[in-house]
Amino acid sequence: MQIGLVGLGKMGGNMRERIRNAGHTVIGYDTNPELSDVDHLSDLVDRLEGPRAVWVMVPAGAATQHVIDQLASLLKPGDTVVDGGNSRWTDDEKHARELGARGIGFVDAGVSGGVWGLKNGYALMVGGDEEHVERLKPIFDALKPDGPYGYVHAGRVGAGHFAKMVHNGIEYAMMQAYAEGWELLEKAESVTGVRDVFRSWQEGTVIRSWLLDLAVNALDEDEHLERLRGYAEDSGEGRWTVEAAIDNAVPLPAITASLFARFASRQEDSPQMKMVAALRNQFGGHAVESAKKA
């Protein structure tokens, strides 16, 4: 199958490679010419055979809107656009209307896997009409992890990004719980091997997880996280999850508290946020800030 891919950063570039490794043709475009297969977005569209499929992997908001506006004028009826970035689900509904008015299909795909996706595969949460989703199934199969899990057609347009948003909200709460436990262990005078305690939890406990494995990786690199500043950003999905909970009158005390804890990291060098920052770097390659030297 042929597909165009717009945005070849950390995830987009690895996704291009994984799709190609599965035997499909990928034509990639990026504003960085060193990464791009073509010079212009119009060149990407011209090189695809109809009906075309173009996957967008650019930052949510204005950048995604700009690319979709361009594609709306370049693509033809029967073509399909996939937004695989971290867009808000309400934007998906808008994009589907805009493209649908031109006869162009739209699919939203929540993508999880970070910098490990090339090797392990990407978890995909997809929203859209059945006909558009089924057409792209070979690409979804190429990207997902091996085995029966890691892909779901979650529902209509917007469902994919809504599911990914909730996934990230849960991720917030899990990271916060590990961070709080780590700080308490570090404070206890009787515990002399906090890293080894975390390592011991990797087998035979109910709290073992990939995040725990990544926490051990971070502690192996910097046992007391002394090189990190206790500061962690919050992405749009964390806030959107709490907003959606308010709109639907669903209590989310753990997820909401984990979001507010990141706000606290703006005010001081929070030990808990060192662990959260380390975990975000481990699973997603997100930037970290170095600790200030005395």
What is the set of active-site residues? 164, 171
Q: 33: exposed, middle or buried (C-beta count within 10 Å: 0-12, 13-18, 19+)?
A: exposed
**DSSP secondary structure, 22-77, as one string:** TT-EEEEE-SSTTT-SSSSHHHHHHHSPSSPEEEE-S-TTHHHHHHHHHHHHH--T
Among 223, 218, 256, residue whose Cα is nearest residue 239: 256
Return the amino acid letter for 278: A
The two beta strands, 123-127 and 105-112, are: antiparallel
Among 82, 172, 176, residue whose Cα is nearest residue 122: 82
Task: Give the sign of the dihedral formed by CA 139, CA 38, CA 110, CA 21.
Answer: positive
Return the amino acid letter for 148: P
Q: Give the alpha-carbon dihedral of 180, 183, 212, 292, to 10 degrees.
A: 110
